[in-house]
């Protein structure tokens, strides 16, 4: 394990975090103290924390929302067999979504950096233009990447559109790349050397102890072994199932309730998206096909968004059902 002590700027602070999990726990505590519901990861394979229904779906409609959670994220093409100091096919994002975006969101965010041991008086924090767009989710927003001493530590976005719907009110989304941020705060040069739990714990574990083997196995799986025919079939199944679920009438004959199955359908959209990523990593999707696949996933995301705004959490009430849908984007 590396010994960052003499060079780590944060060690001068007695309250500096000592491990990866310490940083996660501090973020949890911080955002809990700011009133966010601390959720758990979504139980599906996703490419980024944004895919969690707590972000994608909850950013739709007018119902206020404030949530924070860790989301394990998978990007099959980024696998490097655990050898690259900075790249992983499975990593963690910390995600905060608050709707409507509060006026002091930047200050709240800076407070979270202080909470994980970044001394704002010694570091250079900058908000550098970076507009966010997710072609698969039909979503975009404006914001920044946040730099700490020239290093990107977070994405900060004001959602403008999701699933083709204008966001009204606007959600503020914060995404922290946890490994990179933690490596910086802890002064670690290779992700696998990062202390996962306290280095002085009876059984100290590094990130590598926990994940190196998994990175190797998934790199091999992603690049060489995944059966592309099965993946393709699953993609098509997920697409079909998504559309099937959305074709049901809202009235459920069994319960007698109005139940729009937006979230189960959205699960299928998430699946399709991940399967597409796997196919992409296997190199079986050509440049021209790529756009077509992205378009298919986006079509699902849009339909799910259309469905979600027909649910109470998405702002549906028996009254709104009669009024024309005004949340739909004009363009």
Check if the beta carbon of residue 185 is closer than 8 Å to that of residue 116: yes
- Binding flag, residue 315, another protein (CB under 8 A): no
CB of 189 vs another protein, minimal distance in Å: 8
Interface residue with another protein, options 5, 15, 43, 121 (CB under 8 A): 121
- Binding flag, residue 100, another protein (CB under 8 A): yes
- Binding flag, residue 142, another protein (CB under 8 A): yes
What is the Cα–Cα distance from 331 to 94, expressed in whole angstroms?
A: 32
Residue 37 DSSP class: E
Record the tokens describing residue 28, joined without a space: 């949890």
Q: Which stretch binds another protein (CB under 8 A): 125-133, 234-242, 251-259, 317-325?
A: 125-133
Query: Which residues, in sequence order, are bridge partners of residue 68?
Result: 38, 96
Interface residue with another protein, options 25, 32, 37, 128 (CB under 8 A): 128
Query: Which residues, in sequence order, are bridge partners of residue 94?
Result: 70, 176
Judged by CB under 8 A, the chain residues 2 through 31 that form the site for another protein are 7, 9
CB of 184 vs another protein, minimal distance in Å: 7
Q: How many CB atoms lie within 10 A of CB 197?
A: 18
Task: Give the distance from CA 65 to its chain's centroid.
Answer: 16
Check if the beta carbon of residue 44 is closer than 8 Å to that of residue 53: no
- Binding flag, residue 120, another protein (CB under 8 A): yes
> Residue 69 or residue 184: which is nearer to another protein going by CB?
184
Q: Which stretch binds another protein (CB under 8 A): 52-60, 224-232, 286-294, 301-309?
A: 286-294
CB of 55 vs another protein, minimal distance in Å: 17
- Backbone angles phi and psi of 275, in degrees to 5: -65, -40
> Residue 92 or residue 144: which is nearer to another protein going by CB?
144
> Residue 168 or residue 234: which is nearer to another protein going by CB?
168
Angle between helices 228-246 and 287-308 in degrees, nearest 10: 30
Burial group, residue 33, by CB count within 10 angstroms (0-12, 13-18, 19+)? exposed
What is the Cα–Cα distance from 170 to 159, expressed in whole angstroms?
A: 6
Interface residue with another protein, options 37, 38, 122, 329 (CB under 8 A): 122
- Distances 139 to 57, 61, 96, 278 between C-alpha atoms, Å: 11, 14, 17, 22
Binding mask 154-183 for another protein (x = CB under 8 A): ----x-x------xxxx-x-----------
Q: Which stretch binds another protein (CB under 8 A): 18-26, 124-132, 262-270, 315-323?
A: 124-132
Task: Give the distance from CA 162 to its chain's centroid.
Answer: 14
Check if the beta carbon of residue 48 is closer than 8 Å to that of residue 58: no
Q: Which stretch binds another protein (CB under 8 A): 53-61, 115-123, 230-238, 245-253?
A: 115-123
- Binding flag, residue 203, another protein (CB under 8 A): no
Burial group, residue 39, by CB count within 10 angstroms (0-12, 13-18, 19+)? middle
Interface residue with another protein, options 151, 201, 292, 329 (CB under 8 A): 151
Binding site for another protein (CB under 8 A): 7, 9, 85-86, 100-103, 106, 119-129, 131, 141-144, 148-151, 158, 160, 167-170, 172, 184, 286-288
């Amino acid at each position: 394990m590396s010994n960052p002590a003499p060079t780590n700027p944060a060690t001068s602070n007695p309250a500096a975090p000592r491990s990866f999990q310490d940083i996660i726990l501090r973020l949890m505590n911080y955002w809990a103290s700011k009133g966010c519901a601390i959720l758990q990861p979504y139980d599906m394979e996703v490419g980024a924390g944004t895919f969690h229904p707590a972000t994608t779906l909850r950013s739709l409609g007018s119902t206020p929302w404030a949530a924070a959670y860790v989301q394990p994220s998978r990007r099959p093409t980024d696998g490097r067999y655990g050898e690259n100091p900075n790249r992983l096919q499975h990593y963690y994002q910390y995600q905060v979504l608050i709707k409507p975006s509060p006026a002091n969101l930047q200050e709240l965010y800076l407070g979270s950096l202080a909470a994980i041991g970044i001394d704002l008086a010694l570091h250079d924090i900058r908000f550098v233009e970076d507009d966010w767009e997710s072609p698969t989710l039909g979503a975009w927003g404006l914001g920044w990447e946040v730099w700490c001493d020239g290093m990107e530590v977070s994405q900060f976005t004001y959602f403008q559109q999701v699933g083709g719907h204008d966001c009204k009110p606007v959600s503020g989304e914060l995404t922290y790349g946890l490994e990179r941020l933690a490596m910086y705060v802890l002064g670690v040069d290779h992700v696998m050397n990062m202390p996962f739990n306290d280095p002085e714990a009876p059984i100290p574990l590094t990130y590598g102890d926990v994940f190196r083997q998994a990175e190797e196995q998934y790199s091999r799986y992603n690049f060489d072994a995944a059966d592309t025919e099965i993946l393709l079939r699953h993609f098509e199944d997920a697409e079909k199932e998504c559309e099937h679920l959305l074709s049901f009438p809202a009235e459920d004959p069994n319960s007698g309730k109005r139940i729009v199955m937006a979230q189960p359908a959205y699960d299928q959209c998430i699946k399709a998206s991940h399967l597409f990523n796997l196919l992409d990593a296997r190199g079986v999707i050509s440049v021209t096909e790529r756009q077509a696949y992205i378009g298919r996933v986006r079509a699902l995301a849009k339909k799910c968004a259309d469905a979600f705004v027909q649910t109470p959490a998405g702002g549906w009430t028996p009254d709104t059902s009669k009024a024309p849908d005004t949340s739909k984007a004009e363009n």
